[in-house]
Amino acid sequence: MTHQPLPTEDDVRRILEGVVDPELHGNIVELGMFRGARFDDDGTVTVSIALTISSCPLRVEIRDEVASKVRGLPGVTDVRVEYGEMTGEERTALMQHVRWRARDHAPETEVPINTRILAVASGKGGVGKSSITVNLAVALARRGLTIGVLDADIWGFSVPRMLGVTGRLGGADGKIHPNEVAVGAGDTGLVKVVSMGFLVDREETALMWRGLMLTKAVEQFLTDVRWGEMDYLLVDMPPGTGDVQMALGRLLPRTEVLVVTTPNQAAQKVAARVANMAQRSYLKVLGVVENMSAFECAHGETYALFGEGGGAELAAELGCPLVGQVPIEPLLSAGADAGRPVVLDHPEAPAARVLQAVADRVADDLLPPLEMAGCTARLFDAVEANLAAPPTGGSETVVAEPGTRP
């Protein structure tokens, strides 16, 4: 009686490329989980698998998939699976690989490819992140730009009140339409707003949602909202480094991050965590804004009520610019309560001047709007012009140079 030849380790490796880790969305060979195979003369194959942690809840599912695949190879009579555990360094490298792959395979969204995306983030609540977001949106819109604002703080939504926008979100053609606010001289600027606040009956309603529902809500706001053309999309992030932050990095990998902190060291250290998460998700940290920098009284005296230096230290640590230091300003909080951002109603107030300067620096230097009159756009113009031009005789087609008309 002759036995079929046993498979090789390469045969096992190739067939295990069909075993996908359902949590990491990659095959176990690509993820570095396959560590080799041993072969016995009786046809038994022992496969070594390294799990991210020894108590991985998917170990049984992975084991069954591995055994099923390898058992289908010629000459195999039985399959055994041995488990090991990745080292800390291997787990870190694996997660970096997973994040990079997610960035390269980002799903389609309704956010136009030419829209600049800026996430306004903080490590903790109470640092004025939403106030910064709203005032930057209005300040950019005053330049005649179209700005989207996504209130991604699903639990703690506050953007509708701060912008003075009410009413349910509309819809047509199976898509949600943002609420809109015209801004600036002659209403030349436009702010488009989407928030969970437009989907609840009362502002005081508590949303008792867990991670998966939060992630799906953010995904729906990006894929089911007809945003239309925008120069910028500002995302008011929830505090911390949780599910929403990870979802944004996956769905919009071209996002850049503006970190908001207060001057005290405790807030600075917490803010460093959200910057670290952004960098590990391959998102660029655009800069740091220090809010509540100081209070200037009517007599001109300045008081650093929350300490000083935290913003500059954080920016130096991250290797990015300190974009602005927003002073404590009663008009800032009053405007947020009234739905009238300070940059709109009191542009000469100290906080408004700083916030407008931050917006100007973003638009003029750090993250200028994308010019669609670039080479590709000019090429399309040229092709369209040729297609629309009447025949001039002869059979030869003439294509104009990009940026010119035939």
Q: pLDDT digit string (tens) for 272-318?
A: 999 888 877 778 899 999 999 988 887 778 888 888 899 999 999 99
Distance separating alpha carbons of residues 400 and 9, to the nearest angstrom: 58
Give the pLDDT band of residue 3 (cuts 50, 70, 90).
low
Mean pLDDT in the chain?
Answer: 85
What confidence score (pLDDT) does residue 212 get?
A: 76
Reported as a single tens digit per residue, the pLDDT across 119-133 is: 999 988 889 999 999
| Whether the predicted pLDDT of 394 surpasses 50 | no
Reported as a single tens digit per residue, the pLDDT across 38-50 is: 999 999 999 999 9
State if pTM tops 0.75. no
CA-based nearest residue to 335, from 322, 321, 349, 315: 349
Neighbours of 140 (CB within 10 A): 29
Distance separating alpha carbons of residues 405 and 246, to the nearest angstrom: 46
Distance separating alpha carbons of residues 306 and 319, to the nearest angstrom: 23
Torsional sign, CA 300, 303, 309, 314: negative
Tell me the backbone φ, ψ of residue 64, rounded to 5 degrees.
Answer: -65, -40
pLDDT, mean of residues 97-103: 71
Q: Which of 267-276, 294-303, 345-354 has the highest mean pLDDT?
A: 345-354
Backbone conformation region of residue 228, classed left if phi is above 0, alpha if psi is from -120 to 50, else beta: left
Length of the chain: 406
Write down the domain spans for the chain: 9-104, 116-366, 373-406
pLDDT, mean of residues 143-147: 96
Distance separating alpha carbons of residues 229 and 112, to the nearest angstrom: 6
Q: Are 330 and 324 in contact (CB under 8 A)?
A: no
Distance separating alpha carbons of residues 108 and 76, to the nearest angstrom: 43
List CB contacts of 15: < 8 A, sequence separation 6 or more. 69, 70, 72, 73
- According to CATH, the topology of domain 116-366 is Rossmann fold (3.40.50)
Structure tokens at 303: 């008081």
Percentage of the chain lying above the pLDDT 90 cut:
50
- Give Cα 281 to chain centroid, integer Å: 9
Tell me the backbone φ, ψ of residue 224, rounded to 5 degrees.
Answer: -110, 5
Percentage of the chain lying above the pLDDT 70 cut:
88
| Whether the predicted pLDDT of 389 surpasses 60 | no
In this structure, of 98-107, 108-117, 302-311, the range with the lowest mean pLDDT score is: 98-107
What confidence score (pLDDT) does residue 296 get?
A: 80
pLDDT, mean of residues 114-118: 92
CA dihedral 373, 375, 376, 381 (to 10 degrees): 60
Q: How far is CA 154 from CA 123, 135, 340, in A?
A: 16, 20, 22
Torsional sign, CA 232, 237, 241, 247: negative
Tell me the backbone φ, ψ of residue 44, rounded to 5 degrees.
Answer: -80, 130
- Choosing among 3.30.300.130, 3.40.1550.20, 1.20.140.10, 3.40.50.620, the CATH entry for 9-104 is 3.30.300.130
pLDDT, mean of residues 103-126: 85
List CB contacts of 28: < 8 A, sequence separation 6 or more. 16, 19, 20, 21, 34, 49, 62, 66
Residue spans of alpha helices (H) in 30-87? 59-71
Structure tokens at 20: 């996908």
CA-based nearest residue to 250, from 368, 123, 103: 103
pLDDT, mean of residues 89-93: 87
Give the pLDDT band of residue 332 (cuts 50, 70, 90).
very high
What confidence score (pLDDT) does residue 372 get?
A: 53
What confidence score (pLDDT) does residue 103 get?
A: 62
**Is the model more confident about 230 or about 187?**
230
Could you identify the residue written with the tokens 């038994």? 44
